[in-house]
C-alpha cells in the first residue's frame, strides 16, 4: 500500500546525507519523488518505491495533506 505523500512534507531518512542532515523536503511528486536535502539544499530524484523504503519518519506534513487524526481536537460543544 503506497504511503500518501504531499509536496512540502518533511521526512527523516534512514541514512543521513553525506552533508550530515537526514531531513528532506518533498519538492516533486510523480513516478519519481523529488526531495531536497535540508542541510545542503541538494535535490535528488528517487523512484517512489526506493523513497518509501528509505523513509524513517515524517517530521511534518505539507499544507496539502489532510488533517491528521492526531491534530488537537477542537470541540465546540
Q: Is the Cβ of residue 55 or residue 65 nearer to Zn ion in the bound state?
A: 55
**Minimum distance, C-beta of residue 74 to Zn ion, in the bound complex (Å):** 38
Radius of gyration of the chain (CA): 14
**Minimum distance, C-beta of residue 41 to Zn ion, in the bound complex (Å):** 7
- Is 67:47 a contact under the CB 8 Å cutoff? no
What are the strands of the beta sheet with 43-47, ordered from one edge?
43-47, 32-37, 23-28, 10-13, 55-60
Q: Is the Cβ of residue 34 or residue 39 nearer to Zn ion in the bound state?
A: 39
Q: Which three cell numbers stand for residue 54?
A: 528509505
The site for Zn ion (CB under 5 A) is made up of 17, 19, 21, 37, 39-40
Q: Is the Cβ of residue 42 or residue 48 nearer to Zn ion in the bound state?
A: 42
**Minimum distance, C-beta of residue 16 to Zn ion, in the bound complex (Å):** 8
Amino acid at each position: 500500500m503506497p504511503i500518501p505523500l504531499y509536496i512540502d512534507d518533511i521526512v527523516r531518512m534512514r541514512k543521513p546525507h553525506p552533508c550530515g542532515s537526514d531531513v528532506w523536503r518533498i519538492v516533486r511528486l510523480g513516478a519519481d519523488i523529488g526531495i531536497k536535502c535540508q542541510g545542503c539544499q541538494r535535490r535528488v530524484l528517487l523512484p517512489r518505491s526506493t523513497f518509501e523504503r528509505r523513509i524513517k519518519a515524517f517530521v511534518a506534513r505539507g499544507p496539502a495533506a489532510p488533517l491528521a487524526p492526531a491534530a488537537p481536537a477542537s470541540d465546540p460543544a
